[in-house]
Structure 1
Amino acid sequence: MNETQMSREIREIPAVVEHQVTRGAGVYHEAGKRLRHDGPRFLVSCARGSSDQAVTYFKYLLETRLGIPLASIGPSIASVYDAPLRLDGAALLTVSQSGGSPDLVSLQAKARGAGARAVALLNETDSPVGKGADTILPMCAGPEKAVAATKSFVASLVALASVIASWSEDKELLDALQRLPEALAKSLACDWTPASIHVASAHSLYTISRGPGLAIAGEAALKFKETCRLHAEAYSAAEVRHGPIALARDRFAALVFANGDQSDTSILDAADHLSAAGARVFIVGGTSPGALPVATAPHALLAPICHAVNFYRFVETLSVSLGENPDAPALLRKVTETV
């Protein structure tokens, strides 16, 4: 069987990250220093799809490490409603692989006009979003041809973690980022085959986490839909018992991402309740007996990045086994332009 483009791009992730944390890290560190100097009162974000999940990861790092809030602004506020914004003293973070969607361009321009400094994290830096930004952060992911984003998503997380590490002057996190490529290479070797049959036969799935891991839960739910045509929804461990757990009965599965930090108590408690309700639960990370194998991250904040690579290998294999084409799923395009 021929290797998929998605599989080839997943295998490139450790090399992409190695490039980021060695030759490409300077621009992230300068951006972090600039943000520390400017001292924005708050940040707002502009992103869709996998890029919006990357912003979720950044939000938790920003708010837990620096105490600065980040809020998402729907691009339609600018592109559809043309509503006025008041963003003096703020910074806008736009994350996009292509940087070409008109609604992202519109919101960035509106935010700059309202007083925000525009920072753009892009794989295509010579793009409309890039041309309208005050600061450009390159993802350095290289060409990505499979419709389902993988290496560009991981590159986004690494870039954003690097900005936070520099902004907060966190030497421990900066040092850990240097060791991340080795951990990601080990992540590619982790086998989640025992979960395959239960996930493939499930009527529906939940992907669960909390804190920084919530970004990976959201990305996992999106990839189950995109590449496997499996219905999956992401929830915070704190929210799943507020109604959604009622669906967790026969032929229901849950993939639960633990962070290896103080959030794990509530995450694993949610996993126990899902299991008791009748769901087949698989835990990623943590120390629970029977948890799916993962590589040890060099820092707790980097564990979600390792888990993303673990998951990508799993979902690509699952997609192929289900007879799907993860490189070109039906009804989807690599670049989606919305207004």
Structure 2
Amino acid sequence: MAADIAEQPAGYARLLETGPVAAIAEVAAAIAARRPRHVVFTARGTSDHAALYAAYLTEIRLGLPAGLASPSAITLFGARPDLSDALVVGVSQSGGSADLAEVLRVARAAGALTVAVTNAPSSPLAGIAELSVDVSAGHERAVAATKTYTAELLALLMLVEGVRAGDGVLPAAERAALDALPGLAERTLADRTPAQLAHRYRFAARLVTTGRGYAYPTAREAALKLMETSYLPALAFSGADLLHGPLAMTDPDVPVLAVVGSGPGGDSMREVLPRLGERGADVVTVGSADIAGATARLDVPEVDERYAPLLDILPLQQLALALALARGEDPDAPRGLKKVTTTL
């Protein structure tokens, strides 16, 4: 898991090379030419969080309604929704989930434009889809997905921005911002704060993660990593939903990891944090600025809010790894888990 985490800056650089950029641009141009009226993402586990990020991008950047499909509606209940004007995107690291493949098969038969985003270009999912995007993350050794998750994030970002451009070609300013990501990721991973926090929280009984907008998928993915490597009950809430009841469970014994970046999402979280302070919650923020009331901060360089999920998750992955080790667990062999999970 440590090796996979460390490879992410190189993974960003690889995905930004000429070949992958051109391949994603071609898919983006084909999508733009079809002019879908709405977008449906289908995914499981870690990839579900990447798909949620893409749904935010789609609605905010493309102005198209977007949502996440419930695969069981099709695979278990036999639903056949009208997807004739839709773009349906399957996101899966392995491309081997039978239920996701079935969703794309049904969607394509209904007239939808189908796209597979996967780390396995020869997988069943990629074979069923009309178009496919290879996230080019390379072989991932650990069961807990890290570098494939961030590769999905970057590929989906490039895809959405390519559709927005119309011809698939990223504007120069966009490309320059993306080209800076490998170096910023290296800088983020060099911080040793996650290991220090792991010793502080090794006896925690439960934990809360929270973020708003683009940061919400990061909060969900961080909670999943903590649960699957440390077996620590971790509950993820959007900053807005946290105030609708779950706030009551926070107290000095429940650490809260709050992703607080720049932009509207970060501004909204700055209004949530004082409420956590009223509860005496032990709050650790993820972001570029110190915030009053927080007990610690996982430092992440400030970038446009759209790009922040590619950096914010990195110290949280490191925290999950370090916390598992501090608790005497083996993060490379989570009990009961396999690299490919089969669901129907």
TM-score of the pair, normalised by structure 2: 0.93
Alignment partner, residue 239 of structure 1: 241
Instruction: State the match for 2:158 in structure 1.
Output: 162
Contact 1:259 1:304 in 2 (8 A): no
The CA distance in 2 between the partners of 1:79 and 1:262, in whole Å, is 38
Q: Does the CA contact (< 8 Å) of 2:52 and 2:68 recur in 1?
A: no
CA distance in 1, matches of 2:265, 2:219: 14
Specify the SS of the correspondent of 1:88. Answer: coil
Task: Output aligned runs, 1:323-338, within 5 Å.
Answer: 323-338=328-343
Q: Which sections of structure 2, spanning at least 5 residues, go unmatched?
A: none
Structure 2 residue corresponding to 1:69, chosen from 65, 69, 76: 65
Alpha-carbon offset, residue 286 of structure 1: 4.4
User: Which residue does the alignment assign to 2:114?
Assistant: 118
Matches within 5 A, 1:127-206: 127-169=123-165, 171=171, 172-192=173-193, 193-206=195-208
Structure 1 residue 279 and structure 2 residue 288: aligned? no
| Alpha-carbon distance between aligned partners in 1 of 2:274 and 2:174, rounded to the nearest angstrom | 32
* Contact kept? 1:183, 1:298, Cα under 8 Å: no
Instruction: State the 1:130 CA deviation.
Output: 1.1
8 Å Cα contact 1:119-1:137 kept in structure 2: yes
Q: After alignment, is 127-136 or 257-266 more displaced?
A: 257-266
Give the 3-state SS of the residue equivalent to 2:235 in structure 1. Answer: strand
Q: Distance in 2 between matches of 1:247 and 1:121?
A: 37
d(CA) in 2 for partners of 1:209 and 1:298?
16
Does 2:315 align with 1:310? Answer: yes
| Structure 1 position 136, deviation (Å) | 0.8
CA distance in 1, matches of 2:248, 2:298: 29
- Find the aligned partners of 1:102 and 1:166 in 2 and give their Cα distance: 29
User: What is the CA-CA distance between 1:10 and the residue it aligns to?
Assistant: 0.7
Code of the residue aligned with 1:215 in structure 2: it is P
Equivalent residue number for residue 36 of structure 1? 32
Post-superposition offset of 1:297? 4.7
Superposition CA RMSD, Å: 1.5
Asked whether the 8 Å contact 1:252–1:278 carries over to 2, the reply is no
Partner AA of 1:100 in structure 2 = G
- Return the alpha-carbon distance in structure 1 between the equivalents of residues 79 and 157 of structure 2: 32
Paired amino acid for 2:176: D
Structure-1-length-normalised TM-score: 0.94
> Sequence identity, in percent?
34
SS at match of 1:262: helix
Give a deviation string over 1:158-201, Cα, whole Å, max 9, x none: 00111122222262322211111111111111222443244323
Distance 1:151 1:117 in 2: 27
CA–CA separation in structure 2 for the residues paired with 1:275 and 1:158? 34
Any conservation in 1 of the 2:55–2:66 contact (CA below 8 Å)? yes
Aligned length: 334
User: Contact 1:282/1:292 (CA < 8 Å) preserved in 2?
Assistant: yes
Q: 1-side partners of 2:182 and 2:216: how far apart?
A: 22
Aligned residue number for residue 224 of structure 1: 226
Contact 2:95 2:126 in 1 (8 A): yes
What pairs up with 1:37-116 in 2 under 5 angstroms? 37-116=33-112
Contact (CA 8 Å) 1:147, 1:329: kept in 2 or not? yes
- 1:284 Cα deviation after fit: 0.6
Q: Distance in 2 between matches of 1:71 and 1:311?
A: 26
